[in-house]
Amino acid sequence: MRHQLPKSRHISRRLAALACALLLASPLSLAAKRVTTAAPAEKIEVADKKADLKELRDKIEALQKDISTAEGSKAEVADQLRDSERSISQLQRDLRELGEDKQALQGTLRELSQQSRTLEQQLEAQQAQLELLLYRQYLRGTPDSLQLLLNGDDPNQISRDFYYLGAVARARGELLEQIEANWKKKQALTASTRERAAALASVEEKQKEKHGKLLSQQEQKKATLSKISAQIAAQKKEVGSLRKDEKRMTQLIDRLSKLIAARTAKKRTPAQKPEPASRPTRPGAPELENNELPQAAPAGSFARQKGSLRLPVKGVVSNRFGSPRQEGSTWKGLFIRSNIGSEVKAIAGGRVVFAEWMRGFGNLLIIDHGDSYLSIYGNNDALLKNVGDSLRSGDTVATVGNSGGNPESGLYFEIRHQGQPVDPLKWASLK
């Protein structure tokens, strides 16, 4: 991929020749880069946030290991899909991130190309002005003031001629400086374009590699599923199977709720965390990135949205909260049939507190919305967010799938308050 302009070499030779002829080209000083650093208090605050996030992720990771250990005591047939489904989720997320990088690089290249064309036009115009000035100076020549006086020429005309020639010389010098500055900008743009083009080629190569691995994992999952689908269906019909899944989810929610409550209490303890007012702030302070620990949501904000939320994915609700299931149990959430790859959206702002494969629910993601409200998204093909990520309402958090041995593609969705499931359709509209 090349973005150099076709007339660049021609202009370069002509400018060099003109500069050498006039002996006026002078190097321009480079502008010093201003490096801004965050105030010490801000650095401490950012470090505290990162430490908080690391603590959260460490505890969630320990929780996940405990769950995996407990599940390993009695393996199920669907567990044979676990590694493939985890890998597919990670590869899908990597591909999405690479796609975003590619889009950003392409946008940068378009912008650089436009800047390059603008500079090219400026250089052509400035070159035409320089040639005109040189031509005018050539016509006037370089008169000798003493000779002109001896010849008896009009002193006033001589003065006007010298003033004109001085103005031409000053204009010529300024124009040469502008041309040199623009030419350096052009060279910097060309170098930046080459760097971005190389980065884009690298991203495209990585995309190709990840896509190949994804296809391989999908084929592996398909082959495994075809072998064990009948066994999965039989095992799901076993007495107590659904209840075990429900118990597993309840235990996870209870442990997450305790962890969230403990962290909230810790943050509110003055001895552990100084009040915000004790830390100096200033306009322009750096904003916290997504990989730093965000707040779940402002107090009371989720409860106020009851009845006005939207379901996380478009599809058909095939099973509703409270409707009967096998073994006499009832649905604790919704199952929304939808095509594989459809985007799953966060129903409200919050923070990811769980993102991992779990028996019975496949690739599972849980969002903390504050005030003991959690939303749960199961059977995903890919999880696109990590523990600790901050979310806004409508952010894409996953893609629809049939992980966890589910026979059809779709999203399992719950809302829980203080650990207890509530009817999602009382919170979110079907429209």
Q: CATH number, domain at 322?
A: 2.70.70.10
Q: For the chain, how many structural domains are there in total?
A: 2
pLDDT tens across 94-129, in order?
998 899 899 888 888 888 888 888 888 887 887 787
Asked if residue 181 and residue 126 are part of one domain, the reply reads: yes
Task: Tell me which residue range forms the domain holding 313.
Answer: 52-74+241-273+293-429
Q: Give per-residue burial for 154-163: e unless 16+ CB within 10 Å, then b.
A: eeeeeeebee
DSSP 31: P
**pLDDT value of residue 299:** 66
Asked if residue 342 and residue 309 are part of one domain, the reply reads yes
One domain, residues 188 and 132: yes
Taking the mean position of all CA atoms in its chain, how far away is CA 281?
27
Q: What is the pLDDT of residue 32?
A: 36
In degrees and rounded to multiples of 5, residue 177 shows phi and psi of -65, -40
Whether 120 is covered by a domain: the verdict is yes
pLDDT, residue 68, reads 58
Residue 283 lies in a domain: no
With 0.75 as the threshold, say if the pTM is over it: no
Q: What is the per-residue pLDDT for 37?
A: 43
Is 68 inside any structural domain?
yes
pLDDT of residue 176: 78
The pLDDT assigned to 412 comes to 95
Same domain (yes/no): 337, 362: yes
Q: Does one domain contain both 85 and 64? A: no
Same domain? For 187 and 267 the reply is: no
Q: Are residues 333 and 227 in the same domain?
A: no
Residue 19 resides in a domain: no
- CB of 422 within 8 A of CB of 365? no
CATH of the domain at 216: 1.10.287.620
Q: Look at residue 44 and tell me if it is in a domain.
A: no
> For residue 173, is it within any domain?
yes
* Start-to-end C-alpha separation, the chain: 46
Q: What is the pLDDT of residue 343?
A: 95
Q: Judge if 303 and 363 occupy the same domain.
A: yes
Residue 9 lies in a domain: no
Q: What is the predicted pLDDT for the residue at 179?
A: 79
Q: Are residues 230 and 94 in the same domain?
A: yes
Q: Is residue 180 part of a domain?
A: yes
- CA-CA-CA-CA torsion sign (353, 357, 360, 365): positive
Q: Buried b vs exposed e over 373-398: b needs ≥16 C-beta within 10 Å?
A: bbbbbbbbbbbbbebbbbbebebebb
Q: Given this model, what pLDDT does residue 140 score?
A: 58
Low-confidence stretches of the chain (pLDDT beneath 50): 1-39, 73, 239, 271-294
What pLDDT is stored for residue 48 in this prediction?
60
- Do 266 and 140 share a structural domain? no
214 and 105 inside one domain:
yes
Angle made by CA atoms 188, 17, 189, in degrees to the nearest 5: 10
310 and 324 share one domain: yes
